[in-house]
Structure 1
Amino acid sequence: MSSIPVPPAADSDAEQLRKLGYTSNFNRSMSLWENFALGFTYLSPVVGVYTLFGLCLAAGGPPMFWAYLLVGIGQMLVCLVFGEVVSQFPISGGVYPWARRLVGKRWAWMVGWVYAIALCVTIAAVAVGAGPYLAAMLGFEPSANTNIVIALVLTLFATVVNLSGTKVLSRIAMFGFLCELIGAVLVGGYLLIFERHQPLSVFFNTFDIRIDGSYLPAFLTASLAGMFLYYGFEACGDVAEETPNPSKQIPRAMRMTIWIGGAAAMFACLALILAVPDMNAVINGTDKDPVTTILSMAFGVTGSKVVMGIVMVSFISCVISLQAAASRLLYAYARDEMIVGSDLLKRISPTTQIPVAALFVSGVVPAIIICLGFVLQDAVATIVSFAAIGIYLAFQMIVLAALFARMRGWIPSGQFSLGKWGWPVNLGALIYGVLAIINMAWPRTPDAAWYINYSMVLTTVIVIGLGLVYMWIGKPYDHGTAPAGDAWKRNP
């Protein structure tokens, strides 16, 4: 009796994709750890913690640390839902193709629209945020125009790296991950051993911070530190067609992003809080940049510049990973003919095996947003406010889509499944996500101009409104013939 030959892994992946209605010219060269590194550098604990540390510590005091744990648990619920979906539908583009299979073309188009804009805005925001750290590293005074120029150069560099292909992207992501993790551990460890100024009890000390007589509003404001950090795991799924055995590897890489990224962020935050020399000075606004104060005291002028160099590596790798995710989303959109210029955007380079035109757009659009800062700084600040809430909205649209599909009879059939825990985890992810969005959008600056105070709500209404108008006039969702709304029809 002759045995049936087992197809090579690459052939098995190609056959799985073919059954989902697609063929791919991507290079499946991204290992599990490289796929994880892409998500980790997108999440970027160093960028997230260092950027918002001073603001959130002043808003909520040392107990803001616990927000990282609470938000991490909530985002893990979302991650588990995503893991079930990507395991069954390992298709490039992440949230857009998932929404297409779970609900249908219209829902998918809007998810892709919201997520694409949020990604482009996030690229611009992270690139601009790198300016002050480069200035500190090189020893010059940062300014708005200088930050814009630095952001443009950083965006251009990220585009060049991404145009080099999946292997280069993977190696850069791994290098960024190692630098960021080692830097976070070494810097945090040094601060804990040699520069600790606060007792452990400080993590439960609110320093009498009150808003309308209660500490809770202050803590919710400070919790934005965690909410602006814990995304990036979805980027692992954006490159599903560049990863071998994606049904098994990508859900695992997503979970690793939360576990390892979250642990690194919490460790960095813990070390910084305990190293604050004068907590009252931070809370009352005397010390507006406690990170620089801590690093200068701990490492001196030269040492703090080295640390800033590590932070810059984190910013650079974060922008590269964000742009890679955005380009794969645009490619997936174009492959299904859901966007203007689809014929060009869906082309894969025969040499580098990446979507060149989609990458170009993923660099140009953020660059345009960055350049607006030369003349419209307030407007750019309002636009950038959409970065985090836009990604959370896209996430919750997938969580809702999964619930919709479950109600239609969908039973996840990929290599990763929550089984009987699917329903409670999905519902928990929805409850967490809705509460997080409300917290992010809640107006907290009553003395500011209305468009600043309600910037997140304003930008969200504009983005969704423009999307609905475009859908009504152009009906882009009707142009393609790719499978849609069939998740519950694929049960074994």
Structure 2
Amino acid sequence: MSRSSASQSHGSVDQDAEQLRALGYSSNFNRSMSLWENFSLGFTYLSPVVGVYTLFGLCLAAGGPPMFWSYLLIGCGQLLVCLVFGEIVSQYPISGGVYPWARRLVGKRWAWMVGWVYAWALCATIAGVAVGAGPYLSAMLGFAASSDASIYIALVLILLSTCLNLVGTKLLARVAMFGFLCELIGAILVGGYLLMFERHQPLSVLFDTFGLNSHGSYLPAFLAASLAGLFQYYGFEACGDVAEETPNPGRRIPKAMRMTIYIGGAAAMFACLALILSVPDIQKVLAGEDTDPVSTILANAFGPVGSKLVMAVVMVSFISCVLSLQAAASRLLFAYARDEMIVGSGLLRRLSTNQVPSIALLVSGVIPAAIVCLGLFMADAVATIVGFAAIGIYIAFQLIVIAALIARVRGWRPTGQFTLGGWGLLVNLGALVYGIGAIINMVWPRTPDAAWYINYSMILTTVVVMGAGFVYMLLAKPYDKGTAPYGDAWKQAAPRPQSTPGAMELAE
């Protein structure tokens, strides 16, 4: 690095530290994560290969080939949420993402609930992704897949991720970048090969519903199949979780978030398109005769040796995905603890000599590992808890979208380096409408023959998590222990209005 560029870099870090001090914080994080490394963290968290390969068979059977279009529609909806988040993080580039944003936009109680929901959702997601890696490693190494084997593989994966994260931000950034390159190149090479040499379906199949109609309408089948996209397009918020580890975060992080949606979404759509057009017999998938079309496609296209190489790329995607998820969870716990919002704050806010929140990282490994271990005793428990993962993340997202709307009504005008200007309110409202619709679609019961607690498992787990959070919040009042700033986003623009019943009760 030249003396001039080093001086510019040092000046940027000084400005970032001064901005953070103005927001009421100081930080000892290593601010070394470049734009592309920050983006890679969000990309590997989103992980198009993990998302597409894991849910492809289920969603193709539910909605047929037109399920492909759900990726485009949901990507547009999530882009609205991403733009709202970009405005917020540009003004408040604070580690922990959604929790500190909620604190500054609305208040302490709202922020506490956002952090509570999002922390549990992240832990459940780490457990779910780690367990999902089991069948792919089994296929790669050539041994029979089983639920117990998947559990042991998940525990090893979580341990590996924890050890890598403890080394420091630089290694996290490098592994995330390596995972991004492997995943993107792998998706392009595998998808390109399938489209050129293993294509069995015409492009017109993307519009063929194969008679999947309910009472004369294809919409219910399409909404069920759209879960593939709904479980795909989050991860961009992880870019903001490491805001204090990224130089010039007010400009870089909103850009990295948008890149995550654009590049991650394009990669997911390309991978899905290649798989759909390579299915030898779609009718067998719809009839339930081929329950794992991804394995069928890869075995036909690459043979036993080639398919194992593809599985190796998929495993890299799983590892980097767990690594990024755990990094996001640990930074959330750190931010929570720095404001004294949780038991054990003194330990959780400590940074190691490697400048990472080591205790928070250990906790974000132990809790997912405990969730995984439940599968050894209660087979349905892990599936039920993991079912909360996506809905919890969407709820946390919408609490931020609502928080931004509350702040706008009170007079907040974004002042970061990235703003939407006059479009801000319209985009915010669009993000709210999309998010509410997505949540309703996710929790909608679709198995009438199953027990009621199976049909409503997402709602039940959400009620349990949020109910426990409310009880703890009201009895212990953890939000009152810290002195960090809160609810000040709008104060520079307008005087504070009187609180009103309902959502505003959480403001203080």
The answer, yes or no, to whether TM exceeds 0.5 is yes
1:491 Cα deviation from its structure 2 partner? 4.8
Q: Which whole-Å CA distance do the structure 1 matches of 2:253 and 2:471 have between them?
A: 35
SS at match of 1:385: helix
1:297 to 267, 288, 300: 300
Q: Deviations over 1:233-265 (max 9, x none)?
A: 000000000000000000000000000000000
Offset at residue 144 of structure 1 (A): 0.6
Partner Cα separation in structure 2 for residue 12 and residue 381 of structure 1: 46
Among 348, 352, 355, which residue is 1:353 paired with? 355
1:462 to 454, 464, 474: 464
Taking the aligned partners of 2:79 and 2:366, their CA distance within structure 1 comes to: 33
1:32 alignment partner in structure 2: 35
Q: How does 1:385-464 map to 2 (within 5 A)?
A: 385-464=387-466
The within-5 A match list for 1:269-418 is 269-349=272-352, 351-418=353-420
**Counterpart of 2:196 in structure 1: which amino acid?**
I
Query: C-alpha distance in 1, partners of 2:215/2:286?
Result: 17
| Correspondence 1:261 to 2:264 | yes
Letter in 1 for 2:369: A
Give the whole-Å Cα distance in 1 for the aligned partners of 2:474 and 2:414.
32
**Aligned: 1:209 with 2:209:** no
1:69 partnered with 2:81: no
Q: What is the CA deviation profile of residues 154-208 of structure 1, one whole-angstrom value per residue up to 9, with x for unaligned ones?
A: 0000000000000000000000000000000000000000000000100000000
1:95 to 92, 98, 105: 98
Q: Using the alignment, how far apart are the partners of 2:455 and 2:304 within structure 1?
A: 38
Question: For residues 271 and 147 of structure 1, what CA distance do their matches in structure 2 show?
Answer: 27
- The answer to whether the aligner puts 1:221 opposite 2:221 as a matched pair is no
Q: Give the counterpart of 1:174 among 172, 177, 190.
A: 177
The 8 Å contact of residues 413 and 491 in structure 1, kept in 2 or not, is answered as no
Give the letter aligned to residue 429 of structure 1.
Answer: A
Tell me how large the CA RMSD over aligned residues is: 1.1
Partner residue, 1:188: 191
Show the counterpart of 1:129: 132
Equivalent position SS for 2:350: coil
Distance 1:187 1:485 in 2: 49
* TM-aligned CA deviation for residue 321 of structure 1: 0.2
Whether 1:197 aligns to 2:200 is yes
Deviation at 1:490, TM superposition (A): 3.8
1:9 has 2:12 as partner:
yes
Q: Find the residue that maps to 2:405 and give its secondary structure.
A: helix
Partner of 1:21: 24
Pick from 246, 249, 274 the counterpart of residue 249 of structure 2. Answer: 246
Counterpart residue identity of residue 342, structure 2: I
Secondary structure, aligned partner of 1:483 = coil
Matched, 1:234 2:234: no
Q: 1:285 and 1:450 mapped to 2: Cα distance? A: 24
What code does the residue aligned with 1:353 have? Q
Q: Is the 8 A contact 1:91 1:237 kept in 2?
A: yes
Once residues 142 and 91 of structure 1 are traced to their aligned partners in structure 2, the CA distance between those partners, rounded to angstroms, is 42
Letter in 1 for 2:441: N
Asked whether 1:156 is paired with 2:168, we answer no
2:221 maps to a residue whose letter is A
Q: What's the secondary structure of 1:428's corresponding residue?
A: helix
Counterpart-to-counterpart distance in 1, 2:448 and 2:116: 31
Report sequence identity in percent: 76
- Letter of the aligned partner of 1:439 in structure 2? N
Shift of 1:213: 2.9
Q: Gaps spanning 5+ residues in structure 1: where? A: none
CA shift for structure 1 position 70: 0.2
TM-score in terms of structure 2 length? 0.95
Between the aligned partners of 2:70 and 2:30, the Cα distance in structure 1 is: 39
For residues 450 and 138 of structure 1, what CA distance do their matches in structure 2 show? 39
In the alignment, what sits opposite 1:482?
484
Q: Distance in 2 between matches of 1:146 and 1:447?
A: 30
Q: How many residues align?
A: 487
Spell out, residue by residue over 1:341-383, the C-alpha distance to the aligned partner (whole angstroms, 9 max, x if none): 000000011x200000000000000000000000011122111
Are the equivalent residues in 2 in contact too, given 1:412–1:491 (CA < 8 A)? Answer: no
Q: How far apart are the structure 2 equivalents of 1:457 and 1:490?
A: 39
Structure 1: 4+ residue segments shifted above 4 A: none
Distance in 1 (alpha carbons) for counterparts of 2:319 and 2:214: 37
**Counterpart check, 1:82 vs 2:85:** yes
